Amino acid sequence: MNYIIRPLALEDEPFLWEMLYHAIYIPPEHAPLPRDIIQTPELASYVQGWGREGDRGFLGSETQTNQPIGAVWLRSPRAGHQGYGYVDDNTSELSIAVLPEYRGQGVGTQLLTHLFASELGRLSVSLSVSVGNPAVRLYERFGFEIIRKSNGSLTMKRN
């Protein structure tokens, strides 16, 4: 598969809503969640009003079709977002997802590589991830460390 990675733009908001749904970890053999779950205020807050100060990230899309396949994005608490991975007002929260049929082929790694190789790599970044989600290993490879564990979730932070 050939794909390119580019910075997120304002008009990518609809794809971020799609990615928000796919960013929810479903353990193997669990039923899919209803699509409208992303409209709950706690989840919607990750994307609602995309384009605030500190909203930055990258998107991967298939070269031939231009089909977006995954995204990683940051949101700052200073712009009014306190998600599950909130640490403090100086730490942006990271979200990431790749469409199911494109997972396990290095796209997530490339998205994170682009993010942290950019000037965004200087930021303090946190995230929330379910205990048992294999993505924990991915985050550890990028320097995230577990700083909190509660109710089946881990908060990880990268300085």
Ligand X SMILES: CC(C)(COP(=O)(O)OP(=O)(O)OC[C@H]1O[C@@H](n2cnc3c(N)ncnc32)[C@H](O)[C@@H]1OP(=O)(O)O)[C@@H](O)C(=O)NCCC(=O)NCCS
> What's the CA gap between 15 and 66, in Å, rounded?
13
Quick one: 87 or 135, whose CB is closer to ligand X? 135
State the minimum distance, in angstroms, from the CB of residue 117 to ligand X: 15
State the minimum distance, in angstroms, from the CB of residue 66 to ligand X: 19
Other Cβ atoms within 10 Å of 145 Cβ, number: 11
Quick one: 23 or 123, whose CB is closer to ligand X? 23
> What's the CA gap between 147 and 49, in Å, rounded?
29
State the minimum distance, in angstroms, from the CB of residue 26 to ligand X: 8
Contacts within 8 Å (CB) and 24+ apart, 106-111: 107/3, 107/60, 107/69, 107/70, 108/70, 108/72, 108/135, 108/138, 109/138, 109/141, 110/5, 110/60, 111/5, 111/58, 111/60, 111/70, 111/71, 111/72
Binding stretches for ligand X (CB under 6 A): 22-23, 25, 96-98, 103-109, 127, 129, 133-135, 137-138
Quick one: 96 or 123, whose CB is closer to ligand X? 96
State the minimum distance, in angstroms, from the CB of residue 102 to ligand X: 6
Other Cβ atoms within 10 Å of 110 Cβ, number: 18
Quick one: 53 or 106, whose CB is closer to ligand X? 106
Quick one: 38 or 135, whose CB is closer to ligand X? 135
Name the residue with tokens 């749904």: 21
